[in-house]
Chains A and B, each alone.
Chain A
Amino acid sequence: MNVVSRGVKNALRSPLRSGGIVLMLAISIGLILSMLVARGSVETKIASLQSTTGTTVTITPAGVSGFQGGGNPLTAANVTTIQKTAHITATTATLSDQLGSTDTNLTSSLTLGSFGARQARFDTNSGSSSFAGGGSGSTAAAPTLTPHITVTGTTNPNSVATNGGTLKITSGTTINGSGSSYVALIGSSLATKNSLTAGSTFTAYGQTFTVSGIYSTGNTFQDSGIIMPLATVQNLSSQVGDVTSVTATVDSSSNVSTTVTNLKTELGTAADITSEATEAAASVSSLTSISNLALAGVIGASIAGAIIVLLAMVMIVRERRREIGVIKAIGGTNGKVIGQFMTEALTLTVIGGIVGLVLGVLVSGPVTTSLVSSNSTTTTSTTGPGGGFGGGAGRGFARAFNGGVGQVGTNIKQVTASLTPQIFLSAVGIVLLIAIIGSAIPAWLIARVRPAEVLRTE
């Protein structure tokens, strides 16, 4: 029998008391583990959200919004600068144009309405017979006017999707946005209006285009447009190298602010830059709160565990003061006595730890779910017909808003408790730390017991 075996034996000396201590420790350690698991899951989700949500930066020519305003488009050099900016992982360049009745054989699927008529009044004065956009209203407008058809030249047709995901192709196939052939995707409303199907042809810019596919976004304005490869639109509209919008993806939402600052420095007054930095911060703020709450739980439960061991060992040391005196009187060193009592504390903690870890594994899932569901907020966005002016900036923001913030609620609900080896080792480390801290003061008390007391209490 040595110091360790005596310590272990002493830990089990009083089954009832040891059981009580172990139970309290187990609850504390179970809580530590479940909080660690919850925090780990939430941190993983935060990292995931930061890499996927609110990472979009939209760069438009200064003074331009859709087809409104004035100024020069962004140049090919501007696009290269954007692509080379730190933290930007991908870009989508877009050039928006409009086709009037003389530019194409297609008829717009939009009606002019009072809204379109008001917007078209200047065009009426200048002799134009068509204008972008329309809407329901009275019949105050001149009947000869028709809305323009919006053409989007893009390197990525999916950028037109309003749900932040992949553009829905209802028939045919999508197009290669990086090419320069005369192919197009036609919005479902425009296709119906002009009886177009995949494989049909139409004329635009004096050229014959083949309909590669029909797309549908659920947005009346978008579904009344045409998507072509960027280079095709640039070449045919005599705007080689020009773009009206660049949507850049940043590697993490935490880098969006820095990237925007860098872009403003690089592009100067040539561009207006909008980002989702605020939305990105909001998307993780609730999760960050949960993470902090879980960390507070870990610290609180650790302190509680250490206090349980501390008080238990102080009680045991006080109770066995004479025994300590006897051991010292017959030649036991402070080290041996302290070692024996620390082993006793460690044994209780390890047993409590094993029970607590099992408990923690069982409850960590429900605890994580409970924490997340009680703190999550769901943001909804609405889209409807009318569409605005349909320019790159407006469309990019709408897409990001729908795809980013709206996804937060869903993602939070998907947080699942996962127990990684690192989390498990952290819990074991905390258990050992609890035993050491909880034994420190009792050890000091043991060292202060004078062997002479064994005679004094006779």
Chain B
Amino acid sequence: MLEVKNLTKSFQAAGGVVHALNDVSFSVKTGEFASIIGKSGSGKSTLLSMLGALDVPTSGSIIVDDTDIAKLSAHKQTGYRSKKIGFVFQHYNLIPNLTAKENVMLALEFGGLPANQRKARAEELLSEVGIEPDQQLRKPNKLSGGQQQRVSIARAIANRPSIILADEPTGNLDSETGKKIFDLLHNLSRSENTTILAVTHDLDIAGKTDRTFSLIDGKITTKSK
């Protein structure tokens, strides 16, 4: 269960205080696939940063499995990110010097999996998302966009997180590949009972999720479904 209460994030800018998020409250049940839509600058990425403990809110709370992650120490937030959260980025953000398998093993290392189990687990995860054994040994620049995003998803689910936060996961892909990636995420939410929160501007994709939140000028204005 993810519960956001009265979340606010303000910045001091030259023109005065800017409220990137303004009293945002919503909740997503465990295993739900929810989407957030909104224009550029509406606060989507800021909200994702707060939910992923990448940044701290000005006020409000984010309750994940009965823990307010906004109040965690920096060290505990790192632990939260490694075990409870999986990130999927628009530009994949794989480590360029590591192979597909090593990228997944990196997340497993941070999740605390013993070294002797990482390789097998990484191969299993990559197979799950459709990366062939020979592709697993390639570096990201030798993989297509869709393949890189699959590796990114394998990395995100490596430590069996409670929540996957996806920032425009199909934004860099053609519609056909984007659909496949969406289906992959959708199946994950069903099979692993993982909560997925995806930021997107693709209304078709948003329409297929369990719930859609519309973010305008830092405020949740619509909660459809």
Contact = CB atoms under 8 A, between A and B. Distances in A.
Interface of A: 1-2, 6, 9-10, 13, 322-323, 326-333, 336, 450-452, 454-456, 458
15 contacts: A6-B106, A9-B97, A323-B96, A326-B93, A330-B106, A330-B155, A331-B81, A331-B111, A332-B82, A333-B78, A333-B110, A450-B54, A452-B54, A454-B54, A458-B91
B54 A329 contact: yes
A456 B40 CA distance: 12
Interface of B: 45, 48-49, 52, 54-55, 75, 78-79, 81-83, 87, 89-91, 93, 95-98, 102, 105-107, 109-111, 115, 155, 159, 167-168
Contacts of A2: 109, 115
A454 B110 contact: no
Contact of A455 (B45, B78, B83, B155): B45
Contact of B107 (A13, A322, A331, A333): A331
Contact of B105 (A1, A329, A332, A333): A1
Contacts of A450: 54-55
Contacts, number: 75
A274 B86 CA distance: 87
Contacts of A458: 45, 89-91, 167-168
Contacts of B102: 1
A1 B135 CA distance: 18
Contacts of B55: 450, 452
B58 to A, nearest CB: 14
B89 A454 contact: yes
Main secondary structure of the interface of A (DSSP, over half): helix
Given A6-B98, A328-B81, A331-B81, 20 more contacts: A9-B97, A9-B98, A327-B95, A327-B106, A329-B54, A329-B81, A329-B93, A330-B106, A330-B110, A331-B79, A331-B159, A452-B54, A454-B93, A455-B45, A455-B48, A455-B49, A458-B45, A458-B89, A458-B91, A458-B168
A450 B155 CA distance: 20
B122 to A, nearest CB: 10
B152 to A, nearest CB: 10
A50 B56 CA distance: 69
Contacts of A456: 45
A330 B97 CA distance: 16
Given A1-B105, A331-B111, A451 B95 contact: no
B112 to A, nearest CB: 9
Nearest to B49: A452
Nearest to B83: A331
Given A454-B54, A455-B49, A328 B95 contact: no
Contacts of B115: 2
Contacts of B98: 1, 6, 9
User: Nearest 8 CB-CB pairs, A to B?
Assistant: A331-B82, A331-B110, A452-B54, A452-B55, A452-B49, A451-B54, A326-B93, A455-B45
Given A2-B109, A323-B96, A455 B82 contact: no
Contacts of A336: 110
Contacts of B83: 331
Nearest to B92: A326
Contact of A330 (B75, B79, B81, B91): B81
Given A452-B54, A458-B167, A458-B168, A326 B105 contact: no
Which of A327, A329, A332, A333 has the most chain B CB within a 10 Å cutoff? A329
Given A330-B87, A450-B55, A458-B45, A323 B95 contact: yes
Contact of A322 (B48, B93, B159): B93
B216 to A, nearest CB: 19
Which of B45, B78, B96, B159 has the most chain A CB within a 10 Å cutoff? B78
B162 to A, nearest CB: 14
A331 B45 CA distance: 19
Contacts of B52: 329
A339 to B, nearest CB: 12
Contacts of A329: 52, 54, 81, 87, 93
A451 B89 CA distance: 13
Contacts of B111: 331
A322 B79 CA distance: 20
Contacts of A331: 78-79, 81-83, 107, 110-111, 159
Contacts of A454: 54, 89, 93
Given A330-B81, A456-B45, A458-B91, A1 B106 contact: yes
A457 to B, nearest CB: 9
A13 B81 contact: no
Contacts of B54: 329, 450-452, 454-455
A456 B55 CA distance: 11
A332 B110 CA distance: 6
A80 B214 CA distance: 107
Which of A13, A331, A456 has the most chain B CB within a 10 Å cutoff? A331
Contacts of A332: 78, 82, 106, 110
A13 B48 CA distance: 32
Contacts of A322: 93
A348 to B, nearest CB: 15
Given A455-B49, A456-B45, A326 B97 contact: no
Which of A6, A327, A333, A455 has the most chain B CB within a 10 Å cutoff? A455
B200 to A, nearest CB: 13
Contacts of B90: 458
A458 to B, nearest CB: 5
Contacts of A451: 54, 81
A278 B91 CA distance: 77
Contacts of A323: 95-96
Contacts of B95: 323, 326-327
A322 B109 CA distance: 20
Contacts of A452: 49, 54-55
A32 B105 CA distance: 41
A330 B107 CA distance: 6
A350 B47 CA distance: 44
Contacts of B96: 323
